[in-house]
Amino acid sequence: MTHNLKKTFAILLLAIFGSTILYNCEPDPDSLGEQLFINDGVNGNETSYDIIAYNINNHDSIRSDASKLISEQNAQGGFTAVGILGAFTEGQFGGQKASYITQLRMNQDNFDFSGPNAKVDSVVLVIKAPNYITDSVKAPGAYDKQDFPVGNEKIAVSIDKKTYPVYKYGKIGGKYNSMTLNVHEVTTFLDANNKDFTRSNVNVSTGQLLGSAVFDGTVSSISITKKSDNTSVFTSSNDFRMKLDKDFFQTKIIDKKGMPELQNTANFIRYFRGLRISVSETDRYLFQFLPNNMELIMYYKYDKTDNGAVTRPQTSLNFKLGSENIHIGQYTYDRTGSAVSSAIAGSSEINGDSKLFAQGMGGPSIGIKIPEDAVNKLKSLYQKDKTGIVSARIRMYVDPLSWENKHSVLRDRQFTILPIDEKGKEGELISNDFTPDFLAGFPLYNLNEKPVYYDFVVTKTVKDIIENAKENKPLLVNLGSFVRTSTGAAFGAKYTTRAFDMNRVILTGTDKLNANRIQLKVTYGTKK
C-alpha cells in the first residue's frame, strides 16, 4: 500500500518512536531517517517478507531456583518471589504439575525452647498469595465467638474474615475449585553447590507425609480482637493455613534439644533437609503463591517457674522459610498424545513449523530467523533506491483454530524477545543483552485483540542489519516478562518471569498457505 508520507510518516515517527530517531539521523541521503520526509515528499510502502519460525525444545526444564523465582526488585534492593503450585491437563500441551521444594532453618542456634518439658500443641504451615483484589472478594462481616482459646484461657472475641480468590490458570469452577495440598519431609540433602538443585526437573526423595488439606482456591485475611478492650489477638492477610503433624515435630525438633542436630545451621539443614509441597490431583489449575512470605509456626508449652509456682504458658517458634534457603520450583510434565509433542518432534530450524508452541515454566520456546534473501532485498532497496525504513515488526497471530484465548485473561499473557547470542554447553540458548529496539526505548510488541496478533518491534534490529552490516542473529521469543526494578526499568536480559509464568499459547507459523502466517512487515519510504 502506497501513501503520501510528507506529513503522515513524520507524525508516525514521532508518535511511535519519539524524537530519538528523528533528530539523530545523519545528513547522508542514504541514511534511514527524517530527511526523507522533509523536502518534496516521499512514497511509502509496507512490504511483507516470509520468515522462518520454529519450535524450540527446552526438554521441560528451566532454572527455577530462588534467583529465578522473582517478579520485581523493591526499593530496598530485595526481590518479590513468586512460586507455583497445582496441576492442569489439556490436549494441546498435555499435563503439568507444579510442586515446591524448600529448605527451612531454626531462627536461633541451639534453641532451648524457653524452658524444660516443652510439648508441641500444634504446627501450622501458612501459604500466602499475592494481593490480587477482585470483585470476587467475600466479606460476610464480623461475628462473635465466646470461647476462643488464647493461651490457657478462653475469651470472647470478634472475628472479621475476608476471602480472596488466588490468581489461577486452568480449569476453574465447580468440582475443579478444590484440590489437595500435601506437605512431605524432604530426605535428599539440598546441596547449594550442586547445580541440579537449580533446575525444575530436579528429583528429590521424600519421607513422611506431614500434612494434607483441601484448598478451595481462596485465601483469607482475618482480624480477631478481644471483646473486652478491642485489642488485637490475631491478624493474618491473604493466606491459607494447614496443620502439620505435631508428633513429628515433637520428635524431630523438641526432643533434639541440646543435641548436635540443632547446634547450628550447617547441622540442621543436613538433619531436617526440607519440605516439599505438592498436589494430589492431575487436572485442576495452577496458582501463584509467595515463597519468601511462607511461615511454619510450631506452638508449644513449657514449664515456667515463678516464685515456686509452675505454669505452662504457650509460645511459638517460627522457622525460617525465606530467601536464605534453597528454593526450587519443581515441574513435571506428561506430554503423551499432546499436540506439542508432535510439533516438537517434527520441528525444523531450516523450513520452520506450521504451528508455534510457547509455554512458560520450562515448556517450548519459539525461534525466529530473518532469511538472507529478505535481508538482501532490503539491502538492495536501501542501497539502490534510497529507501528509509520507518518501521519493522514481526507479526505473529494466535492460531484461532487451536488456541485463541483459553484459560486466562488475554492481557495476562506477556512475551519477551531477545537475540540468541550463542548456545551453551548443554544446548541451552544464551541471550546476553536486550534487542537494540528495547535498548532504544521502544516497546517489545503491540497487541491487536481482534483478531489476536502481536507485532514485535524490530525496527532498529533490522536497520542495524541493513545499514550497519550487523549480524543477522536469530531471535528467541518466550512467555513471561522482564523482571523490573522499583523504578520500572528492566533488571537485566537474563532475568524474566518465565520460570513461573503459567501461560501457554499456540501461534501460526510459516505455512505459506496460511494468510496469517508469521511475517516480517517493513514500512519504508522512497524519495520521489
DSSP 56-78: E--TT--B-BTTTSEEEE-TTS-
Q: pLDDT tens for residues 359-403?
A: 999 999 999 999 999 999 999 988 887 778 889 999 999 998 888
Q: What is the pTM of this model?
A: 0.88
Q: pLDDT tens for residues 440-492?
A: 999 999 999 999 999 999 999 999 999 899 999 999 999 999 999 999 999 99
- The more confident residue out of 131 and 90 is 90
CB 264 within 8 A of CB 258: no
- HEC string for 407-427: CCCHHHCCEEEEECCEECCCC
Give residue 515's pLDDT: 95
Looking at the predicted structure, is the pLDDT value of residue 278 above 50? yes
Give residue 177's pLDDT: 93
Task: Write out the three cell numbers for 37.
Answer: 520526509
Give residue 19's pLDDT: 33
Looking at the predicted structure, is the pLDDT value of residue 9 above 70? no
Task: Write out the three cell numbers for 378.
Answer: 532490503
Give residue 134's pLDDT: 61
Task: Please say whether the dihedral angle defined by the alpha carbons of residues 309, 310, 312 and 313, taken in this order, is positive or negative.
Answer: positive
CA distance 430 to 422: 5
Q: What SS3 class is residue 156? A: strand
Mean pLDDT of the chain: 88
Task: Please say whether the dihedral angle defined by the alpha carbons of residues 464, 466, 470 and 473, taken in this order, is positive or negative.
Answer: positive
Give residue 3's pLDDT: 41
Question: What residues does each domain of the chain span?
Answer: 49-58+339-520, 83-133+166-218+239-334
Percent of the chain with pLDDT over 90: 73
Of the candidate ranges 69-83, 262-276, 496-510, the one whose mean pLDDT is the lowest? 69-83
Is omega for the bond preceding 451 within 30 degrees of 0, making it cis?
yes
Looking at the predicted structure, is the pLDDT value of residue 4 above 80? no
Looking at the predicted structure, is the pLDDT value of residue 260 above 50? yes
Distances (CA, A) of 481 to 489, 493, 499, 500, 501: 12, 10, 10, 10, 9
